[in-house]
């Protein structure tokens, strides 16, 4: 018997986008180098190696996010224990919407995600750097 999926990705994305603030690339271009913001690149390392990343962004594979956020996790990263605004991004703002909602649900705040993801960032002439962190 086939599985019956009761909530699809479109519904999950709609819910996440209704709860998490969206940051335009134009706004983000004025904030990516501001110390009050942490840009979190959720893409796979191979994606970052192929296309670079937003300068100064912190690389966090999507599959490790919850483990790296939780201070009680043996995998916790201090980057997620700062009094800063967290801006999540991926290639096209799907993973980042779900990740930002999960982070927000865990209590990380303030949290937002980048409209259109890294693809739109590049299209809108945002600066790109090699993987740094």
Q: Residue 1: its pLDDT value, please?
A: 84
Task: Spell out the residues 6+ positions from residue 78 whose beta carbon is closer than 8 angstroms to its own.
Answer: none
SS3 53: strand
Do 110 and 21 touch, CB atoms closer than 8 A?
yes
| pLDDT score, position 132 | 56
Q: Which of 80, 75, 133 is nearest to 109 (CA)?
A: 80
Q: What are the φ and ψ backbone dihedral angles of 125, each rounded to 5 degrees?
A: 65, 35
Residue-wise pLDDT tens digits, 47-63: 999 999 999 999 999 99
| pTM of the predicted structure, to 2 decimals | 0.94
In this prediction, residue 130 carries a pLDDT of 81
Cβ-based neighbours of 92, under 8 Å, separated by 6 or more: 116, 117, 119, 120
Residue 71: pLDDT over 90: yes
pLDDT at 102 (0 to 100) = 98
| Structural domains of the chain, ranges and CATH numbers in brackets | 9-123 (3.40.250.10)
- pLDDT of 133 higher than 70: no
pLDDT at 107 over 60: yes
């Amino acid at each position: 018997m086939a599985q019956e999926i009761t909530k699809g990705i479109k519904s999950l994305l709609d819910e996440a986008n209704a709860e998490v603030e969206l940051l335009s690339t134009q706004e983000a271009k004025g904030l990516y180098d501001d110390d009050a913001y942490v840009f979190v690149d959720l893409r796979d390392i191979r994606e970052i190696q192929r296309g670079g990343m937003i300068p100064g962004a912190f690389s966090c594979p999507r599959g490790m996010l919850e483990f790296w956020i939780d201070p009680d996790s043996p995998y916790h990263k201090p980057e997620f224990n700062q009094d800063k605004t967290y801006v999540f991004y991926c290639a096209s703002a799907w993973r980042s919407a779900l990740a930002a909602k999960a982070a927000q649900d865990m209590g990380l705040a303030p949290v937002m995600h980048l409209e259109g993801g890294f693809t739109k960032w590049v299209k809108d002439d945002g600066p790109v750097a090699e993987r740094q962190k």
